């Protein structure tokens, strides 16, 4: 009986973007980007994750020194590559699929 009460008594609470450490420690500019659901230059990966909690973040590459990373982000309305230098996004590129040969009429 105790197990049933413990399982029911403490519902899991999802943390909102405003409660994340990334949001609380972000610059005013990056807080606004998080509030707007944007992913942009100057943000950290943690700030991006707070901005788009529905997105999937996959680190594709890290150099040996660990100061450069390439991330792929997919989610609602987002299909991006993020180039991260020293913990901050330096460039955001849209991942556009290459047209297949069939679509080109070959």
Q: How far apart are CA 38 and CA 59, in angstroms?
A: 19
Q: How many CB atoms neighbour CB 43 within 10 A?
A: 26
Domain membership of residue 10 (yes or no) is no
Q: How far apart are CA 93 and CA 44, in angstroms?
A: 16
Q: How far apart are CA 20 and CA 5, in angstroms?
A: 29
Domain membership of residue 20 (yes or no) is no
Domain membership of residue 4 (yes or no) is no
Total domains in the fold of the chain: 1
Domain membership of residue 33 (yes or no) is no
Domain membership of residue 78 (yes or no) is yes
Q: How far apart are CA 84 and CA 59, in angstroms?
A: 10
User: Which structural domain, as residue segments, surrounds residue 81?
Assistant: 41-95
Read off the pLDDT of residues 51-93 as tens digits, 9 standing for 90 and up.
Answer: 999 999 999 999 999 899 999 999 988 999 999 999 999 999 9
Domain membership of residue 3 (yes or no) is no
Q: Kindly tell me if the per-residue pLDDT of 43 is higher than 90.
A: yes
Domain membership of residue 58 (yes or no) is yes
């Amino acid at each position: 009986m105790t197990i049933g009460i413990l399982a029911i008594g403490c519902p899991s609470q999802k943390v909102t973007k405003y409660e994340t450490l990334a949001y609380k420690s972000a610059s005013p500019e990056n807080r606004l980007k998080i509030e707007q659901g944007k992913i942009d230059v100057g943000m950290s990966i943690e700030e991006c994750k707070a901005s788009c909690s529905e997105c999937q973040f996959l680190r594709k590459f890290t150099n040996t020194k660990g100061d450069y990373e390439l991330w792929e982000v997919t989610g609602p309305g987002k299909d991006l590559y993020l180039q991260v230098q020293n913990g901050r996004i330096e460039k955001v590129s849209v991942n556009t699929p290459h047209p297949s040969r069939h679509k080109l009429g070959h």
